[in-house]
Amino acid sequence: MNSAEELKYLLPNSVVSVGVQTNKPQAVIRKEDFLKVAEKVKELGYDNLSVITGVDRVDRIEVIYNLFSYKKKQNLALKVVLDHRSPEVDSVTSIWKVADWLERETYDLVGVKFNGHPDLKRILLPEGWIGHPLRKDYDMNTEQFVTIGEDGEDIVSPDGSNLLRRK
């Protein structure tokens, strides 16, 4: 019995399905129960949240949490499937502190809203950027430029006349 099947045995109602992806056990979790499952997983000894990944599957958005247990030397991946129009899931910053920046990254690039996050804002792109670039429906035709304001802050605009050379 791998770690995902163990979780399915403990919480049969919250775990939708189990499987193996790239040699790592993976469990698909109902998004309503995700915070409860995350607490249980932390109790099982998965103390390290390695990375949070967001994937745009056009009809849905998947968020994958890659976990590792230093005590058991085991991997576990949790996956939640979200609605494409309004992707929302509970934040796990109260359980793993590292989720703060990882969730901000997923919010920045994929546009997943994490409910209960203490400071949900962009982490890589400057404030004011239009769209989430790793979405399949991101508009690549309008180019956006960054300039520096008077106080050193980043200003985003599609007009690059202050930045580009006059030709």
Q: Using the rule CB under 8 A, give the single segment among 3-11, 53-61, 64-72, 140-148 that binds other proteins.
A: 140-148
Cβ partners under 8 Å of residue 133, min gap 6: 109, 125
Q: Which of 140, 150, 151, 158 binds other proteins (CB under 8 A)?
A: 140
Using an 8 Å Cβ cutoff, are 88 and 120 in contact?
no
Cα 62 from Cα 74, distance rounded (Å): 22
Using an 8 Å Cβ cutoff, are 30 and 84 in contact?
no
65: number of Cβ within 10 Å: 27
The size of the interface with other proteins (CB under 8 A), counted in residues, is: 14
Binding status of residue 154 toward other proteins by CB under 8 A: yes
Binding status of residue 146 toward other proteins by CB under 8 A: yes
Query: What is the closest distance, in whole angstroms, from the C-beta atom of residue 160 to other proteins in the complex?
Result: 8
**Closer CB to other proteins, residue 83 or residue 139?**
139
**Closer CB to other proteins, residue 23 or residue 141?**
141
Residues 96-135 that bind other proteins (CB under 8 A): 125-126, 133
**Helices 3-10 and 34-43, axial angle in degrees (round to 10):** 120
